[in-house]
Structure 1
Amino acid sequence: MSKPMQGWLLGIHTTTPTLGLAMQPVSGSQMKRSQTWSLGRQMAQQLHPRLENFLPPQQWSDLVGIGVAVGPGSFTGSRLGVTVARTLGQGLCLPVYGVSSLAALAYARIETDPVSLLAVQLDAQRGDWYGAVYRYAQATDQLSVVVPEQLWSTSSWQAQLHLLQAQPCSLEIVDGTALADPPVQAVATLAYKAYASGQLSTWSDILPQYLRQPPIDSGALKAPSPPKPPAD
């Protein structure tokens, strides 16, 4: 079945203290848009009103899919964004696409200056790093995984970087910890690419990607659920 040529994908990024929302048009004739808010501990209370204010001039009925950053990052933030995306996907009968926070950082870097090999890192605290390596093919605008995202000790991550830097291809290191705003537009764009390719992804498939044991019960994802979107 062919995809509709009109509509929007909503991007949600909550894995840092800064909330990011984005709208990605299906049609190239419309302008994408995004906005961020530094909310810290107010993220859970502020997400829904910020989303309701951000959505116009589009309506809930204009959405054809949802992309959400699933982590790694803040445990609470990752869980919050995934819960909201799952609830919206279920309530609106829309596909939901989980996007790695590291992949979003890689793609955001590529959009400003295309490079072929990227190592993306985030400070995971406790002397550890979240890290992954991606290769970008400019001819096809495709991002592929070279080294899957995982939790690294500082020494093992540095060893991995040294190994990659010894290769002929130049390596770009992207440190997401230093960025003020989350790459929410990249989340929406990567979700759109999955949507446009016909990839099927339902709300029930999407879970937070912590990469280390979170200090919560895994059942906490189910409660409490955010309110369902209002009818247009």
Structure 2
Amino acid sequence: MKANMSLEPIVNSIHSQQTPQQDVDKCVDCPLCMEALDYDDLGFYPCGCGYQVCRFCWNRLKNDENGLCPACRQPYPDSPIQFSTISIEAVEELKKKKKKQKEKQKLKDAAKSQNLSSVRVVQKNLLFVIGLPQRLSQEDLRKEFIKYGKILKMVINQSSAYVTYSRPEDAVAAIKSLNETNNNTNKSNQRSGSNSATQQQLRASLGTTKYCTHWLRSQSCPKQPDCKHYFPIYL
């Protein structure tokens, strides 16, 4: 689309012999359309402030819109301030620079993965309960906790369990109710003189989970939206 564009101020400035597009990787993006600049656009600066856009966007701004530079807000001149083709050597240098930037970003991502792999994140809609009776069934657990809100998932592990609610406020309500019951039970035991240490009590708090390994690797998780680990893009 850009290659077929005809702009009178530009045509006379283009070299008669151009390097084939396939020989040059696109290295820079136009800040307006976010498309990679063509080879001949790399040396195109339509405004004296130095703000670089592709010829297609320049033509659109100048002829179809207000004709002002998006950066300095001054009217575009009739002819580009600077328009010169870039040598193959310069393009190769840009390619190397971009490659180094990608390598640096990969190193940063790897460091992030290593630092966060052992970190646990508090899940505001995840209830963690300990002190459950042995051999408690999924159905019994659901009957006990569904009164606080809609349950998305439950996992029982011996005397503890994770209950995932659809809303964070439901998990908070369950924690508040269970802890109040515990406090009342403790006070009752103290008044009666019974040994509360021998009695099993439920204790609840917000649950924690690790970061999803796919997210740490900048990959999409195939288990979403049901992944049990923390995947920020879905929260």
Give 1 or 2: higher helix fraction.
2
TM-score, normalised to structure 2, is: 0.22
Larger RCO (CA within 8 A; separation ≥ 6): 1
Larger radius of gyration: 2
By percentage of residues, which structure has more strand?
1
Q: What TM-score results when the alignment is normalised by the length of structure 1?
A: 0.22
